[in-house]
């Protein structure tokens, strides 16, 4: 059985529509996964909450922690100097 030109055109259009829908669905799923991986996650395990950070957030927290530690060291050094004098 051979298809007419009109039937082939209808099948081609239907295929392109399906390809477009599948591409849209894959994009939505990918963007959703990227968004989930960038968010912090909190897990509850045996009445204990565990917060899981993304790599980017961990880097920010390490930087902030270092800055806070440095500022505390400066303050303690100033306090020591003021108590000695």
What is the model's pTM?
0.42
Note the pLDDT of residue 40.
54
Q: pLDDT of 4-32, one tens digit each? A: 999 999 999 999 999 999 999 999 888 87
Note the pLDDT of residue 18.
97
Domain boundaries, the chain: 5-84
Q: pLDDT of 39-66, one tens digit each? A: 556 666 677 766 666 666 777 778 888 8
Tokens 């917060």: give the residue.
51
Task: Detail the DSSP E strand segments found in 2-75.
Answer: 41-45, 48-52
What's the rounded Cα separation, in Å, for the pair 52 and 39?
A: 9
């Amino acid at each position: 059985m051979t298809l007419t030109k009109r039937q082939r055109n209808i099948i081609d259009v239907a295929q392109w529509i399906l390809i477009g829908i599948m591409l849209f669905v894959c994009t939505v799923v990918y963007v959703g996964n990227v968004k989930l991986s960038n968010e912090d996650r909190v897990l509850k395990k045996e009445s204990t909450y565990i917060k899981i950070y993304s790599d980017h957030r961990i880097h920010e927290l390490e930087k902030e922690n270092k800055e806070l530690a440095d500022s505390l060291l400066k303050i303690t050094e100033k306090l020591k100097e003021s108590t000695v004098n």
